Structure 1
Amino acid sequence: MTGEPDRLTPGARTLVDLMASAFPDLGGAVTDAVEARRIIDALPRPPVEPPAVGSVEDRTVPGPSGSPGIPVRVYRPDAAPGPRPTVVYFHGGGWVIGGLDSHDDSVRELCRTSGAVLVSVDYRLAPEAPFPAAVEDAYAALLWAADHAGELGGDPDALVVAGDSAGGTLSAVIAIVAKERGGPALALQALVYPATDSAQDTRSYRANATGYFMEAGALRWFWEQYLGPDGDGGHRHASPLRTGDVSGLPPAHIVTAGCDPLCDEGRAYAQRLRTAGVPVTEAHYPGMFHGFFAFPGLLADARDALTGVAEAIARTAKDRKNGGDHGGSAG
């Protein structure tokens, strides 16, 4: 922010200032990924019970050829009748930080609110495993979830990819990869403030460069770690907005925040899909910041956004029963 009126809601401003005071200066004072993870892992966690779900199980599933197995965490809702939508969830963290534990509360909330089975994926992180390692892990996990949906209590015909930030990017990319590689068929891609273009040259990147928690400099640092010295940021598996043909991709539900550097590219991807005939619903929150989705207990907009994603997931099972009508688009 540079002298302009604050566009965050008052509750969001309080939270942003608190987080910014504790979060490492990524790409500035902190440039080492291992050190960044150490600092973030040492941050105090609120002493609250995690949201209750029916069951939680840690497993390891086969990775892509030549790689180690992929840790996943399977969340099942209460014992209501199934089968249910099966959601493969990819966590945020700029492809550099984060994991099963960092997003445990968010995935629990989504499981409980949607009534779906969720498979949270601990894909390999950069810079140790740069692009496209995370993409290949994500696709391998999707294949496993599709093959084991019945065992998990899920519906293999209501298969969803979902994620926030870098995980939203992976979800968009995996929808493209599944189309290219002949499946599995997806009922929905739920993208929460995804990065869709490595160019980082939008109006929102400039308008929200500083003062709104996740700053443009940190996002550039994440891209540098992810791509490494030889990565192609223009490749469609890195920047889904640059995909030549997005027709035939699964319906999308896309969440964006007005005070997020990634806002414009998320909205541009929604429009790109819509123009190609893909059903799209959008949920845009002008007074929110990158990361707000993780705070449904503190922010009304976060609760609304989570409920919207959960309802979009739940609709996939209803749509299947009603003959596959996913509905139209909303802006």
Structure 2
Amino acid sequence: MTPTPDLLSPAARVLCDAMAAHFPDPAQAPLTVASMRAASSAGTAPGEKPPGPELAEVRELLPGGPEDVPVRMRLYQPEPQSAGAAGGRPLLLFLHGGGFVICDLDTHDRTARELAHRSGATVLSVDYRLAPEHPFPAATQDARAALAWALRHAEELGCAPSRVFVGGDSAGGNLAAGAALGLATAEDGHGGVALAGQLLIYPCVEQRFLGASAELFGEGYFMTLDHLRWFTEQYLGPAATDLAALGPLASPGLAPDLSGMPPTLLVVADCDILRDQTLAYARRLAAAGVPVEVQLHPGTFHGFLGVLDHLPAADTALTGAAMWLRHRAERL
């Protein structure tokens, strides 16, 4: 049941409905991987998307060797290497959203460009393996391998190893938080390496959808509860019905100890199924002594950065995230 009165801003309601109209609806027909991927590739925002800001360099990377999961990454350099700040620029390893099933480097190219341009950080966007062809924990493994690679090669990219951030939106936020957790708990063999921070944009930090926000915004707000359950089933497979799947590897927000996590920014859409789990994660981080900031955007819905050119709140959110990255890096 959707709340009355509508909690979206008038502009966000128009855009939310326009996006939903071009996205497969599980209430109308069973979802398929092919239809969902076709919709994400076509784009759900109204009108043509501008390509985003020009950067000094954008190129493809394919890490190789026995230490690496061979996932493609795209490098975004905001300025020539020689123009970087003393000691090296910040580096953001970015993991795109899409429920672990859809989206890729191209669907999130604009977001990566904008983050690099507005923050001054080099951005590495990761093309991790998708479910159901590559179910859990493939994406988590790729995220951790990509972060380890970024830490090892930061200086080669003109960046400072002490200024490495990890981030992502939605499912990518889950993977980013999981990769940061792996470092914090030394699960990946890189214990002692400190990240500069994690930037999580309306993240899915748990594979369960609880709280008032799941009831209030489960339908009528673009990404529905049925969508999220379908994504979870594709990603976790049979484990989707197993409580063991809700452990930290799949649900980093449920880790028993968050004390070693890096400083965190949580960008939250107020009218989002995932709002309450994100705010609960923020409270747990704060209780563990982790510096945490929440930027809550009233009247917005899950995925609202996808309408950057049409919704002022999306521009505000992206600028806020970029400024947080810039200011955190300047302290290091």
The 5 A counterparts of 1:1-331 are: 1-2=1-2, 4-26=4-26, 29-43=29-43, 46=48, 48-62=50-64, 69-79=70-80, 80-82=83-85, 83-181=88-186, 182=191, 184-230=193-239, 232-320=244-332
Range that drifts further, 205-214 or 35-44: 35-44
Identity over aligned pairs, percent: 45
Q: How far did 1:265 drift?
A: 0.4
Aligned AA for 2:185? Answer: E
Aligned AA for 1:113? Answer: R
In structure 2, the residue corresponding to 1:74 is in which secondary structure? Answer: strand
Q: Deviations over 1:81-127 (max 9, x none)?
A: 33211100000000000110000001100000000000000000011
Q: How far did 1:297 drift?
A: 2.5
Range that drifts further, 83-92 or 197-206: 197-206
The TM-score, its normalising length taken from structure 1, stands at 0.91
- Describe the shift of the 1:268–1:154 C-alpha distance in structure 2 as closer, same or farther (beyond 3 A): same
Aligned AA for 1:122? Answer: D
Q: How far did 1:183 drift?
A: 5.0
Aligned AA for 1:57? Answer: R
Between the aligned partners of 2:309 and 2:196, the Cα distance in structure 1 is 28
Q: How far did 1:269 drift?
A: 0.4
Kept in 1: contact 2:15–2:307 (CA 8 A): no
Kept in 1: contact 2:84–2:158 (CA 8 A): no
Aligned AA for 1:77? Answer: P
In structure 2, the residue corresponding to 1:98 is in which secondary structure? Answer: coil
In structure 2, the residue corresponding to 1:226 is in which secondary structure? Answer: helix
The TM-score, its normalising length taken from structure 2, stands at 0.91
Kept in 2: contact 1:194–1:266 (CA 8 A): yes
Between the aligned partners of 2:74 and 2:3, the Cα distance in structure 1 is 44
Kept in 2: contact 1:64–1:140 (CA 8 A): no
Between the aligned partners of 1:173 and 1:156, the Cα distance in structure 2 is 19
Between the aligned partners of 2:28 and 2:175, the Cα distance in structure 1 is 26
- Describe the shift of the 1:172–1:49 C-alpha distance in structure 2 as closer, same or farther (beyond 3 A): closer
Structure 1: runs of 5+ lacking an equivalent: 321-331
Q: How far did 1:195 drift?
A: 1.0
Aligned AA for 2:84? Answer: P
Between the aligned partners of 2:53 and 2:245, the Cα distance in structure 1 is 37
Q: CA RMSD in A?
A: 1.9
Kept in 2: contact 1:90–1:164 (CA 8 A): yes
Number of residue pairs matched?
319
- Describe the shift of the 1:286–1:63 C-alpha distance in structure 2 as closer, same or farther (beyond 3 A): farther
Kept in 2: contact 1:94–1:222 (CA 8 A): yes
In structure 1, the residue corresponding to 2:7 is in which secondary structure? Answer: coil
Between the aligned partners of 2:296 and 2:253, the Cα distance in structure 1 is 18
Q: How far did 1:12 drift?
A: 0.6
